[in-house]
Amino acid sequence: MSDHTYFLIEPGSPVLEVIAEAKEMHRAYLATVEAFAAEFGTKRWYATTKWQVYVLGLAFDGPPPRGWRENKSKGYSRPDLRTPEGRAIAPRMKALPNGVSASKFGSMLDERFEAIAADPQRSYTAWDGCAVSWTGYEILGEHTLLCVPAACKVSPPGCRGLKMSEYWQLKEAAETAVPA
């Protein structure tokens, strides 16, 4: 028994529009964060991926530049609020956009489709004991699948429910496919 229900997203489904929107939002997040990090001479940053995706700090190969304070136990640096440079950097870092987490993706679906939002155990907050089940999507070869927590009895528009055996067939076929 799976803790998720899988749906094959048919071509032209409005769910594909939400996925495209989420991808574009995340691409914009990555481009903005990469440009911010590059200003300080690094390509590495740390982000949280729990409820939201946002930047916690930057990682430097050597000592951090002026205005940054290294947290050695965490492996990244944050703006040093004791310095004028750090106080100038902190609001800029805080203003960086958030990326798209599974929670955000689920809420984007909820905003669009009443069929998902109407479920009392909303797709992005369905609790199962201590585990959180998330709504997400998976690309298997040429197929895009939507997975929602099994507790959510939904019927997303333009999607066909899959049996678990069908899901595993698609997954196996995608893994064994020869790249072109």
DSSP 8-state assignment for residue 95? T
More confident residue, 110 or 138: 138
* Range 82-105 average pLDDT: 92
- pLDDT category at 51 given cuts 50, 70, 90 is low
Give the whole-number percent of the chain exceeding pLDDT 90.
55
* Range 88-95 average pLDDT: 96
- pLDDT category at 93 given cuts 50, 70, 90 is very high
DSSP 8-state assignment for residue 84? H
d(CA 116, CA 44): 37
> What residues contact 83, with CB distance under 8 A and at least 6 apart?
66, 67
Phi/psi of residue 48, each to 5°?
-90, 145
Instruction: Tell me how far apart the 2 most distant CA atoms of the chain are, in Å.
Output: 60
Domain residue limits, the chain: 4-12+101-176, 22-94
